[in-house]
Homo-oligomer: A and B are copies of this chain.
């Protein structure tokens, strides 16, 4: 009956992480989550939930990377954001009491805690710092969404691709050899930028010619971050 190789992590970790919303919970509240939550593991390609689903809880990512995307009219994915350890997903649907407006799929094998909706609602009702923290989170994401809308509407694909690479660097970091710490297919990159796969390929190899990046399959090595920033028109 031993289904998991890994021990179920306690949420104490999440609750201590700076940046995680759980840091405003009391000891008792963390214990309650630990008691009520369900631990789950998923492999690359697996789906946590689908657009349109009624959601019965939200997820806190413990390990791995998840992409959150929306399926457009013709079936093309638009990646909205990524979730990495410490991030929560699906809270939007729970709180707005709407069905999921996005789907979530695993990019890198992951471990998550699934926490029932009632817990989230209860915490919002009883712990006002936590509610405030969630509001901050939602409002912050809203600000990012606004920026993204403006970018997609106004920038060229070239600018957007450069910008997305920068954002990925900031979110996931580089290893010792300056390789981006998240590996995406060209199609996935295209689905963030909002363009065709072939366009990403062509632009990436342009960036390569211009000595901005080095490509090794899905691994992207950043050679000239400043140069990319300049192309992306990120500042001013």
Contacts and interface: CB of A to CB of B under 8 A. Distances in A.
Interface of A: 70, 72-74, 76, 78, 80, 91-93, 95-98, 101-102, 121, 124-126, 128-129, 131-132, 134-136, 138-143, 145-155, 194, 233, 236
9 contacts: A70-B149, A72-B153, A95-B132, A96-B135, A96-B142, A98-B140, A102-B146, A141-B142, A142-B145
B136 A132 contact: no
Given A96-B136, A142-B142, 16 more contacts: A72-B150, A78-B149, A80-B146, A95-B135, A96-B143, A101-B146, A121-B132, A124-B135, A125-B128, A128-B131, A135-B138, A138-B139, A138-B142, A149-B149, A152-B152, A154-B194
Given A74-B154, A145-B149, A149-B149, A128 B136 contact: no
A139 B95 CA distance: 7
B147 A97 contact: no
Nearest to A129: B125
A80 B136 contact: no
Given A73-B154, A96-B140, A135 B146 contact: no
Copies of this chain, count:
2
Contacts of A148: 149
A204 B64 CA distance: 47
Contacts of A124: 128, 131-132, 135
Contacts of A134: 135
B150 A78 contact: yes
Contacts of A91: 139
Contacts of A145: 142, 145-146, 149
A116 to B, nearest CB: 17
Nearest to A135: B95
A80 B149 contact: yes
Contacts of A131: 124, 128, 131-132, 135
Contacts of A138: 135, 138-139, 142
A92 B137 CA distance: 10
Nearest to A160: B153
A180 to B, nearest CB: 22
A55 to B, nearest CB: 12
Contacts of A141: 142
